[in-house]
Amino acid sequence: MTATPLNPAAPGRVVVYYQTNRVDGALVSPVELARRCRELTAIIVGAIHVNAEPGDITLNDDPADHPDNQAMWAELAAVQEQGVAVIGMLGGAAMGSFERLEPATFGTYYPPLRELIGTYRLDGIDLDVEEDMSVEGARHLVDALRADFGPDFIITLAPVATALSGGGNLSGFDYEELWATHGGQIDWMNTQFYCGWGVLDSTAEYDAIISRGVFPAAKVVAGTSTHPMHGKGFVEPAVLNKTVASLAAKYPDFGGMSSWEYFNSEPGGTAAPWEWAQAMGAAMEQGRTR
Each residue's pLDDT tens digit, 209-238: 999 999 999 999 999 999 999 989 999 999
Mean pLDDT lowest for which of 5-9, 23-27, 61-65, 182-186?
Answer: 5-9
Cα 49 to Cα 67: distance, rounded to the nearest angstrom = 18
**Which pLDDT does position 8 carry in this prediction?**
67
User: Measuring CA to CA, which residue among 237, 163, 227 is closest to residue 198?
Assistant: 163
Instruction: Answer yes or no: is pLDDT of 4 > 70.
Output: no
pLDDT digits (tens, 9 = 90+) for 249-279: 999 999 999 999 999 999 999 999 999 999 9
C-beta neighbour count of 129 within 10 angstroms: 25
pLDDT digits (tens, 9 = 90+) for 96-114: 999 999 999 999 999 999 9
**Which pLDDT does position 5 carry in this prediction?**
57
pLDDT band with cut points at 50, 70 and 90 for residue 1: very low
**Which pLDDT does position 231 carry in this prediction?**
86
In this prediction, residues 111-138 reach a mean pLDDT of 98
List CB contacts of 150: < 8 A, sequence separation 6 or more: none
pLDDT band with cut points at 50, 70 and 90 for residue 290: confident
Report CA-CA distances (Å) from 26 to 46, 58, 72, 240. 18, 21, 11, 29
Q: In the chain, what percentage of residues exceed pLDDT 70? A: 97
Return the domain boundaries, the chain: 13-288
Write down the mean pLDDT value for the chain: 95
**Which pLDDT does position 2 carry in this prediction?**
44
pLDDT digits (tens, 9 = 90+) for 73-89: 999 999 999 999 999 99
pLDDT digits (tens, 9 = 90+) for 169-185: 999 999 999 999 999 99
Cα 75 to Cα 146: distance, rounded to the nearest angstrom = 26
DSSP 86-112: EEEEEESSS-SHHHHTSTTTHHHHHHH
Instruction: Answer yes or no: is pLDDT of 3 > 50.
Output: no
**Which pLDDT does position 10 carry in this prediction?**
75
Burial (CB count <10 Å: 0-12, 13-18, 19+), residue 105: middle
pLDDT band with cut points at 50, 70 and 90 for residue 11: confident
Instruction: Answer yes or no: is pLDDT of 284 > 60.
Output: yes
- Per the confidence metrics, is the pTM higher than 0.85? yes
**Which pLDDT does position 9 carry in this prediction?**
65
In this prediction, residues 121-126 reach a mean pLDDT of 98
> Which CATH homologous superfamily contains domain 13-288?
Glycosidases (3.20.20.80)
List CB contacts of 64: < 8 A, sequence separation 6 or more: 48, 57, 58, 116, 119, 120
List CB contacts of 52: < 8 A, sequence separation 6 or more: 96, 100
User: Measuring CA to CA, which residue among 17, 9, 13, 8 is closest to residue 194?
Assistant: 17
In this prediction, residues 9-15 reach a mean pLDDT of 86
DSSP helix/strand/coil, 121: coil
Instruction: Answer yes or no: is pLDDT of 282 > 90.
Output: yes
C-beta neighbour count of 268 within 10 angstroms: 18
